[in-house]
Amino acid sequence: MSIGTKSLKKQNHELSNIDKQLQVLHNGVADQNLESFSSKLKASNLFPLTTTGLDVFQINMGKMCNQVCSHCHVDAGPDRKEIMTKETLQQCLDAIKKSGINTVDLTGGAPEMNPHFRWFVEEAYKLGCKTIVRCNLTIIVANKKYFDLPEFYKENEVEIVSSLPHYSSKKTDSQRGDGVFDRSIRALKMLNEVGYGMEGSGLTLNLVYNPSGAFLPPAQAGLEKQFKRQLKKDFEIEFNSLFAITNIPISRYLDYLVASENFEGYMEKLVNAYNPIAAKGVMCRNTISVGWDGYLYDCDFNQMLELKVAVGNKDLQHVKDFNSIALLERKIIVNEHCYGCTAGAGSSCGGEIT
Amino acid sequence: MKTYYNPDDLKKFGKIGEFQKEMADKFFGYYGEVFKEGALTEREKSLIALAVSHAIQCPYCIDSYSVDSLEKGCNEEEMMEAVHVAAAVRGGATLVHGVQMMNKVKEVSM
Ligand code: SF4
Ligand code: SF4
């Protein structure tokens, strides 16, 4: 993969248009005479897809990021200015309080670049929530104002989930940008130093693997052993679990697939790898995702495709009118990109599903 | 353009049962069994398959096991080393016949 320095949006790329993305996705399945995702779900008795609970409150704090990874489904980067306001963050806290959800999952962009990030994490901690931060690692060493993030995470008992596509620099940098691997290693050492990933510390540091190209992830358990062995041997780094995640064919990853002429083959691969057991456990069934502007989605991917939650009343689509009952009763919006969640062992923000 | 090898034909491999189902079923059953995790890991088996694909120079197998090795978590260095193993054994197999040549030369020479 090659790394650009601008988001698709900044480039005025045709795939920054959501309708265009949906059309490409549709054609990728229909033109190859592959079965649509909804019809696969029907055959598995899972259509329409319903919720099983409201356990995870995922907030996309903004699209701004210090990196411009080539596979990014958010199309994040330094040129993206969409950031969640304090008012919306307060509405999130109110919704969390009201609904009793106690797992808060913060993502972005780089969530730490939101100026209200630390305030929010502290407030969520006071509410007794378990907070997960999807930290891209390099942010910790990007500027001295972030150097104390490991301490801050520790004080608020935050669980860290960080991407490291490979234990070799070549593969990591080809996906995330030149020098990202070395900076990620520095950040991992800083996290280890305060206790993250170390046995008995109670501070969780999980890593995320996702393929650097048009192929599916390896089985998680074996890969975790390999990562543990290599990172320990080469850098004395420790971590808790490895999540193997499938790349979802939207946004910049979709652009990569189309530009490298891998799109059709990848869609075919995903469709052929459809696993009904994984489909039963997809993360949208117990997660709610909040966009930077406060709108609600079934997951972060639907958020990027601007597919707002299907609740009858439009007001209920916004976090300020968070209504657990209406959300629990909703039907989840599915489309062909969902095949990314159901291939093989399945894929979610917590890795394999099955 | 007509060619002897067509990448799309690989997708049709599963259809060989059309002409002889019983043997095809047995073959694919056996094939699946061979590549399951056993005394060797799936990852090790994939690298062996990649090396063999090069030794037998099968373009279908090379495409398949290049992707399969990546999907088993192998990196480029490991994959190229596997190909070198195939090359070394093939090269060695050629060279070791040099002994036969030497034997023959000695036999017929004064
Ligand atoms: S993948 Fe993560 S770190 Fe990379 S650009 Fe996207 S949001 Fe930033
Ligand atoms: S892409 Fe989103 S909506 Fe579709 S299956 Fe995955 S989590 Fe659910």
| Domain CATH code at residue B91 | 1.20.1290.10
Q: Rounded to the nearest whole angstrom, what is the distance from the C-alpha of residue A177 to the centroid of ligand 1?
A: 10
Contact B43 A216 (CB under 8 A): no
Structure token pair of residue A200:
């008995």
CA atoms within 13 Å, Cβ hemisphere of A61: 27
In this predicted structure, the answer to whether residue A296 has a pLDDT above a threshold of 70 is yes
Ligand 1: nearest atom to the Cα of A252: 6
The pTM of the full predicted model, rounded to 2 decimals, is 0.92
A222 contacts B71? CB cut-off 8 A: no
Structural domain includes residue B49: yes
The verdict on residue B18 lying in a domain is no
* Position B7 confidence tier, pLDDT thresholds 50, 70, 90: confident
CA distance B73 to A222: 9
Which ligand is closest in space to the CA of residue A252? 1
Do A303 and A105 contact (CB within 8 A), yes or no? no
| B80/A contact by beta carbon, under 8 A | no
Q: Residue A159, SS3?
A: strand
Contact residues of A toward B, CB < 8 A: 166, 168, 170-171, 211, 213, 215-219, 222-223, 226
- Model pLDDT, residue B51: 98
In whole angstroms, give the CA distance from residue A103 to residue A155.
Answer: 17
Mean pLDDT, range A5-14, rounded to an integer: 95
User: Is B81 touching A (CB cutoff 8 A)?
Assistant: no
- Evaluate whether residue B87 is within a structural domain: yes
* Residue B84 clears pLDDT 90, i.e. is over it: yes
**Test site for ligand 1: of A10, A60, A74, most ligand atoms within 8 A of the Cβ:** A74
- pLDDT category of residue A43 using cuts at 50, 70 and 90: very high
Which tens digits make up the pLDDT trace of A157-214? 999 999 998 998 988 998 899 999 999 999 999 999 999 999 999 999 999 999 999 9
Residue B16 maps to a domain: no
- pLDDT tens for B43-78 read 999 999 999 999 999 999 999 999 999 999 999 999
The total number of structural domains that make up chain B: 1
Q: CB distance B70–A213 less than 8 Å?
A: yes
What is the model's pLDDT at position B2?
Answer: 82
Give chain B's mean pLDDT.
95
Strand (E) or helix (H) holding A104: strand A103-107
Q: How far is A227 from chain B (nearest CA, A)?
A: 10
Question: Is A4 in contact with A70 (CB distance < 8 Å)?
Answer: yes
Ligand 1 site residues (CB inside 6 A) read: A 65, 67-69, 72, 74, 76-77, 108-110, 136
The full length of chain B comes to: 110
What integer pLDDT is reported at residue A158 of this predicted model? 98
Q: Where are the beta strands (DSSP E) in chain A?
A: 56-60, 103-107, 130-134, 159-163, 205-209, 242-244, 287-290, 296-297
Q: What is the mean pLDDT of chain A?
A: 96
* Residue B20 belongs to a domain: no
The answer to whether the CB of A1 is under 6 A from ligand 2 is no
Task: Identify the residue whose tokens are 């130093």.
Answer: A193
Q: Do residues A72 and A85 make contact, with C-beta atoms less than 8 angstroms apart? A: no
Give pLDDT, residue A5. 85
Q: B103 or A165, which is more confident?
A: B103
pLDDT band at A94 (very low <50, low <70, confident <90, very high): very high
Is the distance from the beta carbon of residue A299 to the nearest atom of ligand 2 less than 6 Å?
yes
Residue ranges making up the domain that contains B45: 40-109
| Per-residue pLDDT, A2 | 58
Domains in chain A, ordered, with CATH?
A: 32-342 (3.20.20.70)
B19 in any annotated domain: no
Residue B105 placed within a domain: yes
Return the best residue to mutate from A284, A335, A337, A352 for the ligand 2 pocket (most ligand atoms within 8 A of CB).
A284
DSSP-assigned beta bridge partners for residue A83? A62
How far apart (Å, rounded) are the C-alpha atoms in residues A131 and A89? 14
Structural domain includes residue B12: no
Q: How many A from CA of A302 to the centre of ligand 2?
A: 7
Closest CA to A81 of A43, A109, A44: A109
Would you say residue A1 has pLDDT above 70?
no
The tens digit of pLDDT for each residue in A75-92 reads 999 999 999 999 999 999
C-alpha A322 to ligand 2 mean position (Å): 20
